[in-house]
Structure 1
Amino acid sequence: MHPILGGNTLSEKKTEQQQAPVQDPSPVEEAPQEAPETEAAPEPDPLMEELEALKTELDEKESKYLRLAAEYDNFRKRSQKEKESIYADAKSDAVLAFLPVYDNLDRALKQETADEAYKKGVEMTMTGLKEILTKLGIEEIPALGQPFDPALHNAVMHVEDESAGENTVVEVFQTGFKLGEKVIRFAMVKVAN
């Protein structure tokens, strides 16, 4: 004991506590063993239900997104094709308006003339027009000496000619033109039978 405090010191108190037997004030009662009940279905976890609902909703949204993406891609492709078709049609219509000029220059070149300057001028004009048509992707339809093709030629006359093969173009009255695979104007031809 400490003389001033009139009590035990801290180390003495610890020693006393360690030596004292531990007694449980309440007697231990064993819980009665309950008979196991038949196993009931576990209650559904609300979080799992919510998770499943969210997964289903996500799948639906993803499916909807993929359909919209495919629809947009199809729309974009269709719009591009329509744009190209409109451009090709406009180009064909514009070229078709110039074809009578081509025909007149072609006829002028076939005429005999004594004026060489005049002939040279017509040749230069025709060469320039052909270059422009080529730049636009316009091609002449080959006809003379070719087999008759109703997809490219318009037969306005038939002639019996043993020297030419059957269904062969023997004369071209008007040159035909095409843009890619699209015929702008059919070649007007005479065909041997």
Structure 2
Amino acid sequence: MSSKEEKMESAEKQAATSNDDEVTSNENFDSIEELDELVEEQQKRINELEEEIQSIKDNHLRKAAEMENFKKRLQRERESVYQKSRENAIEAFLPVNDDLRRTLEALEQANADKSFVDGVRLVADKFQDVLDRYNVERIDEEGVPFDVNLHDAMLRQPAKDDSIESGTVLQVLESGYRIGDKTLRHAKVIVSE
């Protein structure tokens, strides 16, 4: 094929293409209403999908927040159970500590064998070390104001000294114990009238 023929063929193709473009644009022009409807439908679908995505995001954030709250609540409950178990275990041993202290006092008053007294004192001191390690404090002070959070009044009696105010702890019958602000066992006391 000669270059002249090639040029003619190329020109014919261009003319055909431009005629097709005109027809297409005329067809598009005739169906603008259809195009607008199609765009409107697509826009509605886009809006629906955006709403669905937003709903899924909100749901996801809500579930994540619920999960975080659940983890925190579980951690608090775990700590509470641990603390309560520790308190219960310590509370169960408190009478043993009291008995050791009373035994030690009785042995010292009875002038028992020194090695025997030293052995009991050693056990009592070890027990006290355990209580100290867990921050357990004895409630056994006399001459302090009566506090319902720390004391259990077993008896009210007049004070021997007039300078002692009413509502003062005169004598501790049985020591109490507390961990921090929590009272494990109230001290049993005699209170002044």
Task: Provide the secondary structure at the position in 2 that maps to 1:151.
Answer: coil
Task: Provide the secondary structure at the position in 1 that maps to 2:63.
Answer: helix
Aligned to 2:131: 133
* AA of the residue aligned to 1:136: Y
TM-score (norm 2): 0.72
Aligned to 1:96: 91
Name the larger-Rg structure.
Answer: 1
Structure with bigger helix share is: 2
Deviations 1:95-140 (A, max 9, x none): 1221111111111232213222222222221111111012123222
Is residue 136–residue 180 contact of structure 2 (8 Å, CA) maintained in 1? yes
Aligned counterpart in structure 2 of residue 120 of structure 1, from 88, 103, 118: 118
The alpha-carbon distance between structure 1 residues 82 and 160, as it changes in their structure 2 partners (threshold 3 A), is: same
Is residue 173–residue 189 contact of structure 2 (8 Å, CA) maintained in 1? yes
CA distance in 1, matches of 2:105, 2:165: 26
Task: Provide the secondary structure at the position in 1 that maps to 2:166.
Answer: coil
Give the length in aligned residue pairs. Answer: 157
Aligned to 1:146: 144
Aligned counterparts, 1:12-161, within 5 A: 43=37, 44-111=39-106, 112-114=109-111, 115-141=113-139, 143-161=141-159
TM-score (norm 1): 0.72
Q: Any gaps of 5 or more consecutive residues in structure 1?
A: 1-9, 12-39
Task: Provide the secondary structure at the position in 2 that maps to 1:45.
Answer: helix
Q: CA deviation at 1:91?
A: 1.4
Is residue 171–residue 190 contact of structure 1 (8 Å, CA) maintained in 2? yes
Q: CA RMSD in A?
A: 2.4
Q: Any gaps of 5 or more consecutive residues in structure 2?
A: 5-32
Aligned to 1:188: 188
Deviations 1:44-90 (A, max 9, x none): 53332222112211211121112112211221121112112211222
State whether structure 2 residue 166 is matched by structure 1 residue 166: yes
Is residue 169–residue 192 contact of structure 2 (8 Å, CA) maintained in 1? yes
Task: Quote the sequence identity (%).
Answer: 33
Aligned to 1:22: none
CA distance in 2, matches of 1:183, 1:131: 19
* AA of the residue aligned to 2:185: R
